[in-house]
Amino acid sequence: MNKEEFIQFFAEQFDETEPEEFKAETEFRQLEEWDSMVALMVIAMIDEEYNVKVSGDDIRNSTTIADLMAVVESKK
């Protein structure tokens, strides 16, 4: 899995946050725009792009984008 591609797909789920703000170490749940709707969009994106099912618990247990990417990689 390509890290930059994952971050790009992740950033595309946000309407107001600039893509440049997203890095592997970004604590995504601290972003002002983060809410349950964005969480569902991220879950759907991961399913569509990587054919991996992640749960709400997987999201809650991830602090950074890199953490979430590691969860996706572990489920492939």
For 34-45, the pLDDT digits (tens) are: 999 999 999 999
Phi-psi region at 59: left, alpha or beta (left = phi > 0; alpha = psi -120 to 50): alpha
List pLDDT tens digits, range 18-31. Answer: 999 999 999 999 99
* Residue-level pLDDT at 24: 98
The pLDDT value recorded for residue 1 is 82
Percent of the chain with pLDDT over 90: 97
* Rounded percentage of the chain residues whose pLDDT exceeds 70: 100
Q: What's the token pair of residue 25?
A: 């170490």
What domains are there in the chain, each with its CATH number? Answer: 3-75 (1.10.1200.10)
The pTM for the full model equals: 0.92
